[in-house]
Structure formats: C-alpha cells, structure tokens
Amino acid sequence: MSAPSDDDEFDDADLLDSEGPAIEVRGLVSAFGDRIIHDGLDLTVERGEVLGVVGGSGAGKSVLLNTIIGLRRPRAGSVKVFGQDIQYASRRTWTAIERRWGVLFQQGALFSNLTVKENVSAPMYEHTRLSRQEIGELSDLKIALVGLPPDAGVLKPSELSGGMRKRAGLARALALDPELLFLDEPTAGLDPISAAAFDELIKDLSDSLDLTVFMITHDLDTLYEITDRVAVIADRKVVAVGTVRELEKSDHPWIREYFLGPRGRAAGAKAKTEA
C-alpha cells in the first residue's frame, strides 16, 4: 500500500516536470552578511542517481541543501526542483514539490514527544486524507521497510540507539513515497558496522524504489559503495562532478588530498577488494 496524493484537492502531475533533471542549480550565490558561501555555483542532479556531495568544513554543503529545500533564500541564482523554480513556485506547486521529496536531517530531527510510529504518520496526516487505519498500516510498512522491528513503533526517539533513530528518520522521510530523497550526513555518529548496514539500506531502497538521492557525506566508504557520482564543493563552487574513480584522477589539491590521502586510499582499496 502506498500513500497517494489527495485527489480531492488537486492532481499535481501536470505541475512538475516528469522527465528532466530532478534538481538544477544555476549561478547560486549564498551569503551570511558579507561572507560569501557560494559564488556562481552550478549543479545538476539527474533522476535516479545517488549523488554524493562533499567539501571541506564551511564549504557550504548544508547551506546548499537548505537552499534547495527552501529553508534559505539565495542572494542570486536559481534552484529548480522537478523543473519548477522554487523561488517563484505558487503555494499549490510548492505543496506538490514537497509531497515528492523526503528529507533525513543529520540528527534525524524526530519529534521527541512522539513515538516512532507517530513521527512516521505525521506527514500522512498533514498531506493526505487517508483514514487513521490506513495511515497506521502505512506507518507500520515504512517502519518495516527501513529494517526496524515492529515493536520500535511504540518507542520514543530517546529510547532508540543512534542507528535506530537514523532508520526512524528515514522511515518518516519515505512516508509519502517520495521520488527525491535528501540525506544530511546519514552515517555520522554510527559505528562502522551500523554505518555499513545503513549504506546497504540506502542502496537497496534507491534501487527498489527508483529514488533520486542527494546525499551530503564525509564518509569515504559511503562514497565508494553507493554513489553514482560525487559533486565536490570548493572555492565557493562545485569544482568537479564525476564518479569516485574519475575524481581520483583530478588535479585539484583538495580533491587529491581527500581521495588520495590515507583514508581515501584505504576506502578505495576496500571497494576494489569487495567489487
């Protein structure tokens, strides 16, 4: 069972581009006061790909994500999601866009006073007119989909381990069957075994649900294991986009240090061994 759109309000199929890139960022300028974060940043995210986004501390990775999902207004440039410029989208179009993406923030951003099941249910109550029983069944399905045990639904976020909170946040992000999934440091704070299991979960969900994934991460194992391409933010722009193996050949100093340093070499060797 899936969470359908509210057909009584409108059919959003004609509002959004169903064939072009999932995300197009052109000439983006972002700033905090006089401090320029992005200066003419361009990025295209193709449908169906898992795109990793990397960059040094302060490079503006989270600022980029927050701008794409409408939490920050750019100083200049444009951001299109499903073909719609989000700065000029009508309320109806914006609602249609929101129903087709899901977001997993770094700490899960779960409502602390709600159970896991109530957290997963919240987007369905907000965006659909499904019955309470249907929402309950769908919430149980999403909880199972991310690999949580059935009894996790009655627990509060404070009663979960770090890995379980990540999965609960992912279940909520998937509540409306999105086409586009945003992940902010999904394996941060997890032990290596839990991080590897979460990587495998993302890969499986991406393949089985035909998701487009925009993922900020610093985890080299994640980049080697599940990304189709990686975008590198440096010098206030996206300085390179390509597969990890293509980026290993880059002459850019930061990229060489990142992918060809000790940790990068170890992750690359591990990926080759497992391939």
For 209-240, write each residue's pLDDT tens digit. 999 999 999 999 999 999 999 999 999 999 99
Q: Show the tokens assigned to 139.
A: 């919430």
In whole angstroms, give the CA distance from residue 156 to residue 50: 30
**DSSP-assigned beta bridge partners for residue 168:** none
3-state secondary structure of 50: strand
3-state secondary structure of 164: helix
Q: Which of 76, 91, 66, 80 is nearest to 23 (CA)?
A: 80
CB atoms within 10 A of CB 192: 10
**DSSP-assigned beta bridge partners for residue 25:** 43, 79
Q: What are 145-159's pLDDT values in tens digits? A: 999 998 999 999 999
In whole angstroms, give the CA distance from residue 242 to residue 51: 9
Share of the chain above pLDDT 70, in %: 90
Mean pLDDT of the chain: 90
Q: Which domains does the chain have, with CATH numbers?
A: 19-82+180-274 (3.40.50.300), 109-178 (no CATH)
CB atoms within 10 A of CB 242: 15
pLDDT of 6 > 50? The answer is: no
pTM for this entry: 0.89
What confidence category does residue 273 fall into, taking pLDDT thresholds of 50, 70 and 90? confident
In whole angstroms, give the CA distance from residue 226 to residue 206: 9
Q: Nearest 5°: CA angle at 69, between 188 and 56?
A: 40
Q: What are 201-210's pLDDT values in tens digits? A: 999 999 999 9
Q: What are 186-201's pLDDT values in tens digits? A: 998 899 999 999 999 9
In whole angstroms, give the CA distance from residue 19 to residue 25: 17
DSSP string for residues in 66-101: HHHTTSS--SEEEEEETTEETTS--HHHHHHHHTTE
pLDDT of 162 > 70? The answer is: yes
pLDDT of 68 > 90? The answer is: yes
Pairing between β-strand 180-184 and β-strand 212-216 as defined by DSSP bridges: parallel
Q: Which residues, including other chains, have CB under 8 Å from residue 61's CB and lie 6 or more apart?
A: 53, 54, 55, 216, 233
What pLDDT is recorded for position 271?
Answer: 72
Query: Taking residues 69-87, what's their average pLDDT?
Result: 94
What pLDDT is recorded for position 211?
Answer: 95
